[in-house]
Amino acid sequence: METPVFQPEGEAFALLGVDAPGQRQAIDALLAGLPSTGWQRVAAALQLSDQQLANAVSISISTLTRRKKEGVFTPEESDRLLRLAALAAKAGTVFTSGERVHTWFTSPHQQLGGESPLAYSRTSVGAAEVNRLLERILDGAPA
């Protein structure tokens, strides 16, 4: 039996509560701006406060409050939220509980220069390294 291939964008969109079965729909959803309802879903998956998630996504609390009222994020904010949602979805497949996901994401890691995966994920380059670290854990390396 084949092992299912992890599709980070599909898992991330599902976590955000957005139906984007294909690449074109995913691009369209990002360009239109993701719905603000996805914010709470990512925060819950990572067991983070709004402030912690806002720091990771590089958005101020006042902007977050506005986006929640407007119901949608900008394409740039959406892209950053999607990046973190993809990592959260992958971490959810690696660790057995939400508490373990939270602990892993918020604890310093030697492989990340002593930073937490959450802090390291603020850029696409850092998020790619966090993704590689999760892949190594999936392959049997220590967490």
Strand partners, 35: 72
pLDDT surpasses 60 at 24: yes
Cα 131 from Cα 41, distance rounded (Å): 20
pTM of the model: 0.89
Closest CA to 58 of 41, 74, 38: 74
Confidence of residue 31 (pLDDT cuts 50, 70, 90): very high
CA-based torsion, 65, 68, 70, 75: positive or negative? positive
What is the per-residue pLDDT for 4? 38
Confidence of residue 96 (pLDDT cuts 50, 70, 90): confident
pLDDT digits (tens, 9 = 90+) for 36-76: 999 999 999 999 999 999 999 999 999 999 999 999 999 99
pLDDT surpasses 60 at 5: no
Cα 35 from Cα 70, distance rounded (Å): 9
